[in-house]
């Protein structure tokens, strides 16, 4: 993998357990509504994937590129482990990341992930929009079986994301 300059690619806010928010094709702004609330309890890390900054130029997207990028961010920031949350394509990325770096993931949360069933209309409901940050925070504090369920129910054993 070509080394990606991490300068100006990572937003970090808050203190506590590290939580990385992996964006989908809409880019990292999708997380803006919940960063403040989550940062009251966690260190929130929002990386911008390769291809989402104009100076990146044209990139050849691959699952491996984004998984390697997340691992590079983790190493650069010096975290032994972190919780990974992904939405849309970011969900696919964190599932693949957890498969390849199992010991680095404390918890995994997948929201409306690419390659999985599409439940997006539910997330447009006003009550869900209001409760989502609280539900995510609650899920982060109770990790019982979250990773196990994600890996067994949502991912093929061979390591590729179910489609």
* pLDDT, position 149: 43
Instruction: Please tell me the predicted confidence (pLDDT) of residue 61.
Output: 85
Alpha-carbon torsion angle 36, 40, 45, 48, nearest 10: 0
Q: Residue 163: its pLDDT value, please?
A: 34
User: pTM for the whole thing?
Assistant: 0.71
pLDDT in tens, 33-68: 999 999 999 999 999 999 999 888 888 888 899 999
Query: Rounded CA gap, 153 and 123, in Å?
Result: 21
CA distance 56 to 102: 29
State the Cα–Cα distance between residues 104 and 82, nearest whole angstrom.
6
pLDDT lower than 70: segments of the chain:
1-4, 114-163
């Amino acid at each position: 993998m070509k080394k990606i300059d991490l300068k100006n690619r990572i937003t970090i806010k808050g203190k506590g357990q590290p939580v990385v928010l992996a964006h989908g094709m809409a880019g990292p702004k999708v997380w803006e509504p919940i960063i403040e609330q989550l940062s009251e309890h966690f260190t929130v890390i929002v990386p911008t994937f390769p291809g989402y900054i104009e100076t990146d130029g044209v990139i050849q997207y691959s699952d491996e590129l984004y998984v390697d990028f997340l691992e590079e961010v983790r190493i650069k920031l010096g975290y032994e482990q972190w919780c990974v949350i992904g939405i849309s394509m970011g969900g696919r990325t964190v599932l693949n990341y957890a498969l390849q770096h199992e010991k680095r993931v404390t918890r995994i949360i997948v929201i409306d992930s690419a390659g999985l069933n599409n439940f997006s209309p539910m997330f447009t409901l006003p009550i869900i929009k209001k409760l989502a940050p609280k539900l995510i925070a609650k899920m982060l504090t109770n990790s019982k079986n979250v990773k196990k369920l994600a890996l067994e129910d949502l991912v093929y054993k061979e390591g590729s994301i179910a489609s």
